[in-house]
Structures are given as C-alpha cells and as structure tokens.
Amino acid sequence: MTWIYYDSKTGNVERFVNRLKLHRDWKIQKIDQVSLPMEEGHLITYTTGFGEVPVSTMRFLEENSSSIKSISSSGNKNWGPNYALAAKKISALFKLPVLLQFELSGTGEDIQKFIENIEG
C-alpha cells in the first residue's frame, strides 16, 4: 500500500491530493492527523514566504523523516528561483529525493507524473 502524507495551508496541496484519490486507492493523510507508528510514505508540502519550508512540515520531518521516501512541493512560478523551493531545501536537509515540484494545485499532467514517479 502506498502512503501519501501532506501539509497544506491555502488548499493547493489538498486539492492536489484529492485529485490523486480519483486515480489511485492510496492512503492519504494530513500530517497534523498522523498517528504513530506510521507507515513509510511520500510527503507533499507547500512552499511559504520566500522559498521557505513550512514550520509544520519541519516539525513533522524532524520526528518522522526516517519514514519518508521522497518529497514533493507546490509553489508559485511568480516567485522565480524560490518556486517550490521547499522540496529542494528538505532534500538537502534530510537527504530525501525530490519527486516533483508543481505549481499551485498542479495540473493533470503533474498528477500523472507524480503517479508514474511513485510506481516506477
């Protein structure tokens, strides 16, 4: 079973994972509702401020990074080099591969790319 954990502030990441649910019967859980022990899975988060990792995501990773297999993040291309930068920062800090960076709530193509990257 594939597990997806996510953090969402404005609803963009939540819309992305809700569209994932239409394509796959994966277990999807918001990080503020995670109970331990947790299954290994993939994390999707958002980028805040000027390319920063959300505090809630950092707290989750500090306790659970050993159970995370990859990181994806949303962002806004209007922020130029800070676009979806949370994924790259998390990757560097926790040695996790970046699975996908997508704009806002993603496109249908982003959903397909995410699924393909997970399934191999």
Quick one: what percent of the chain has pLDDT higher than 90? 94
Q: What is the mean pLDDT of residues 62-78?
A: 96
pLDDT tens digits, residue range 36-62? Answer: 768 999 999 999 999 999 999 999 999
Domain boundaries, the chain: 3-119
Q: What is the mean pLDDT of residues 86-95?
A: 98
Contacts of 3 (CB under 8 A, 6+ apart): 26, 27, 28, 29, 38, 39, 40, 41, 42
pLDDT tens digits, residue range 20-31? Answer: 999 999 999 999
82, pLDDT greater than 80: yes
pTM for this prediction? 0.95
35, pLDDT greater than 80: no
Structure tokens at 9: 């502030």
Q: Provide the pLDDT for residue 120.
A: 85
Q: Provide the pLDDT for residue 52.
A: 96
Mind spelling out the 3-state secondary structure of the chain?
CCEEEECCCCCHHHHHHHHHHHHCCCEEEEHHHCCCCCCCEEEEEECECCCECCHHHHHHHHHHHHHEEEEEEEECHHHHHHCCHHHHHHHHHHCCCEEEEEECCCCHHHHHHHHHHHHC
Q: Provide the pLDDT for residue 97.
A: 98
CATH class of the domain at 3-119:
alpha beta
16: closest CA among 66, 91, 84? 84
